[in-house]
């Protein structure tokens, strides 16, 4: 059973449909006790960092997620669901995140619009793995594929080893995927990334960290 976190800010229908399509059984989770018997957790998200963290705290899901991840339950964060894993975000102020991956969330450089680089970064782009390193098992299906991004902020982990894959927007490299142990997270939307995204979600269902 996949626990799909529903806190009022994610596109539940699209990601649930994609997970079912690759063989998953999905439960929408709105309260901490609904996480107790799930085998995997997915946290999607669109919108503002502050509102997302606030909604998780209001429902008690912030501590419940930390507990389940601490027990080793495989976890997938998507877009904003990746960013809230960080220690803090500088989106419209400074706000604390879940702190599961040390680091911060910051905007793309201020001069992007004057250089013809639109914000948000939106559309198809690459997923680049570190040379000489084997891709993370969940991300391996994305080799030489493009995926769909929509974001104005990027994750900057303190530990470079937590960057599982990267992408360039213009001449600016950013973390496309981050993770550690039983956590993997993507800045792009696998549910919008057609066959490559579905293959990645299927790999997540089979992943045994």
**Domain holding 177: CATH number?**
3.40.50.880
Decide if 55 contacts 84 (C-beta within 8 A).
no
pTM of the complete model beyond 0.75: yes
Decide if 186 contacts 78 (C-beta within 8 A).
yes
Active-site entry in 121, 177, 189, 202: 189
151 tagged catalytic = no
Q: What residue has token string 């626990």? A: 3
Domain count, the chain: 1
Active-site entry in 79, 155, 167, 177: 79
What is the full per-residue pLDDT of the chain (209 aa) written as tens digits? 999 999 877 678 899 999 999 999 999 999 999 998 999 999 998 888 999 999 999 999 999 999 999 999 999 999 999 999 999 999 988 999 999 999 999 999 999 998 989 999 999 999 999 877 789 999 999 999 999 999 999 999 999 999 999 999 999 999 999 999 999 999 999 999 999 999 999 999 999 99
Active-site entry in 121, 151, 162, 191: 191
63 tagged catalytic = no
| Beta strands at 40-43 and 2-5: parallel, antiparallel or unpaired | parallel
- Full residue range of the structural domain in which residue 160 is found: 2-206
């Amino acid at each position: 059973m996949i626990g799909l976190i529903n806190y009022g800010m994610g596109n539940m229908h699209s990601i649930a449909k994609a997970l079912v399509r690759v063989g998953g059984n999905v439960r929408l989770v709105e309260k901490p006790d609904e996480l107790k018997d799930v085998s995997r957790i997915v946290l999607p998200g669109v919108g503002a960092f502050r509102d997302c963290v606030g909604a998780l705290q209001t429902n008690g899901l912030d501590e419940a997620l930390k507990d389940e991840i601490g027990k080793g339950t495989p976890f997938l964060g998507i877009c904003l669901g990746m960013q809230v894993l960080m220690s803090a975000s500088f989106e419209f102020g400074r706000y604390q995140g879940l702190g599961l991956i040390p680091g911060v969330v910051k905007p793309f450089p201020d001069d992007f619009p004057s250089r013809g680089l639109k914000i948000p970064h939106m559309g198809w782009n690459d997923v680049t793995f570190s040379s000489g390193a084997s891709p993370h098992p969940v991300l391996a299906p994305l080799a030489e594929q493009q995926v769909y991004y929509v974001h104005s902020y990027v994750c900057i982990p303190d530990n470079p080893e937590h960057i599982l894959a990267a992408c360039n927007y213009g001449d600016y490299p950013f973390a496309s995927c981050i993770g550690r142990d039983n956590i993997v997270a993507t800045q792009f939307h696998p549910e919008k990334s057609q066959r490559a995204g579905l293959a990645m979600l299927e790999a997540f269902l089979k992943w045994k960290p």
